[in-house]
Amino acid sequence: MPAMSDSRFENLTTGILALQGAFHEHAVALEKCGATARKVRRRRDLAGLDALVIPGGESTTIGKLMVSYHLLDEIKGLGAEGLPMLGTCAGLVMLAREVVDGDQPLLGLMDIKVRRNAFGRQVKSFEAALDVQALGEDPFPGIFIRAPWIESAGPGVDILAEYDGHGIAARQDKMLVTAFHPELTDDLRLHELFLRMVYEDRR
């Protein structure tokens, strides 16, 4: 997909939690779409954001770092107030209300229960062409790296895509999550969908 900077996104400032994981790639993708990207490491970096991305990485590590940087409760509060958020892979885990067999710090902002590293030991990483109707007819290149899946979801959650019968992308109000890594492809449709949600939220 060619980069399609959209002037509607020019005034949007999107934070990317930058404690661990694939945060830089999200910043590049958001800027290609025309938005401003700001890395978030301290509480003060959250001021005045229009949206926040929780990237992939290792959710146990990201959660622990969020606690020690005093960001967990702060971000939970912003989410409860309606700040739009995008969570990819470990970010999907962080946004979940519950992890199967897990006990780790979570934001718990989406009514989903997730299974970490769900696709099995042998197949830790793979690519698949995904049918995601919300992104249009063309298949989306899904990159899965020790990815979670959505085990169950509450009634307010829209499952946007499935793979092997399991939810791998979902939306609830202004929260969007994927088990795969759109920031590691040059297909900007998922980031554009998120920025459209953010833009509509601001109007």
Pick the piece of the chain touching ligand GLN (CB under 6 A) from 28-36, 65-73, 74-82, 141-149.
141-149
Pick the piece of the chain touching ligand GLN (CB under 6 A) from 33-41, 71-79, 85-93, 190-198.
85-93
Q: Angle at the Cα of 137 (from 131 to 142), degrees rounded to 5?
A: 35
Question: What tokens appear for 120 in the block?
Answer: 């099995």
For position 31 contacting ligand GLN by CB under 6 A, the verdict is no
**Which of 26, 166, 181, 191 does the annotation list as catalytic?**
181
Fill in the amino acid letter for 100.
Answer: V
Which of 115, 116, 166, 189 binds ligand GLN (CB under 6 A)? It is: 116
For position 146 contacting ligand GLN by CB under 6 A, the verdict is yes
Q: Check: CB of residue 19 under 8 Å from CB of residue 7.
A: no
Which of 12, 27, 90, 109 binds ligand GLN (CB under 6 A)? It is: 90
Between CA 109 and CA 80 the distance in angstroms is 7
For position 93 contacting ligand GLN by CB under 6 A, the verdict is yes
Between CA 178 and CA 89 the distance in angstroms is 6
> Minimum distance from CB of 120 to ligand GLN (Å)?
12
How many helices and strands, by DSSP H and E, does the chain display? 5, 12
- In the annotation, is 200 catalytic? no
DSSP-assigned states of every residue in 167-192:
EEEEEETTEEEESS-GGGSS--HHHH
**Which of 25, 33, 89, 191 does the annotation list as catalytic?**
89
- What residues line the site for ligand GLN (CB under 6 A)? 56-59, 89-90, 93, 116-117, 145-146, 148
